[in-house]
Amino acid sequence: MKYLILYLFTLLFFLTACQNTSDKQPNDPANLKTTVAFFSDTTKMDTFKVVLQGKKPKDMLLTFNIVTGNGKEIYKKVFKASDLINNYQETLDLSKEKSQRDFIQQEFNLFLEEENFLWPALTPEQKPDRQSPDLAFFKELQDSQLNGFQYRLTKETKVYIAWSGQHQQVKIYYKCC
């Protein structure tokens, strides 16, 4: 009897210790999407990754990053699900937690869609306007013909990013509706 109690106590201890107490599950394949594309280099593909963490919408995070073919992280953006939900509450019914979770899951699923990759980022005919924050980078991007990527920041704002060879970093080249 004494050994049985000791065995049950030990088993209970190990089960409790091995349990994931965090509600974040970045290694769950359903919460991770990756794809590769030419972005910072025309000969090596970069890896685009988006991870959805958390169970409750108020705690969820959507993390987007780009890693070069050499393994160097060149871009990282973390979105709070609560911020995304707040940006869409006027146009969508997001009053219930299930609808909020479904909305965030949809944003996650659409993040790396092919339509968000821009080949090339800019054509030589495109002209900068007031939504182009850096005219020199705009010109550099037209000359380099590197690819771009776009993502939604809010219901009214899309961010367009590309690699700047001159500055060796990802920069915003257009931010608009």
* pLDDT digit string, tens, across residues 73-89: 999 999 999 998 988 87
Residues 79 and 98 in one domain: yes
1: in domain: no
Could you report the per-residue pLDDT of 115-140, keeping only the tens digit for each? 999 999 999 899 999 999 999 999 99
pLDDT at position 87 is 85
Last residue of a domain, which of 95, 112, 129? 112
Q: For residue 152, which of 161, 140, 144, 143 has the smallest C-alpha distance?
A: 161
pLDDT at position 67 is 98
Please give the Cα distance from 19 to 71 (Å, whole number): 31
The backbone torsions φ and ψ at residue 3, rounded to the nearest 5 degrees and listed phi first, read: -70, -35
pLDDT at position 27 is 52
Residues 129 and 65 in one domain: no
Last residue of a domain, which of 80, 112, 144? 112
Residues 103 and 51 in one domain: yes
Residues of the chain with pLDDT > 70, as a percent, come to 84
Q: Which domain holds residue 58?
A: 19-112
55: in domain: yes
pTM above 0.85, yes or no: no
Structure tokens that stand for 152 in this block: 């939604």
13: in domain: no
pLDDT at position 8 is 36
Residues 98 and 46 in one domain: yes
Domain count, the chain: 2
14: in domain: no
90: in domain: yes
4: in domain: no
Structure tokens that stand for 105 in this block: 């899951």
pLDDT at position 115 is 96
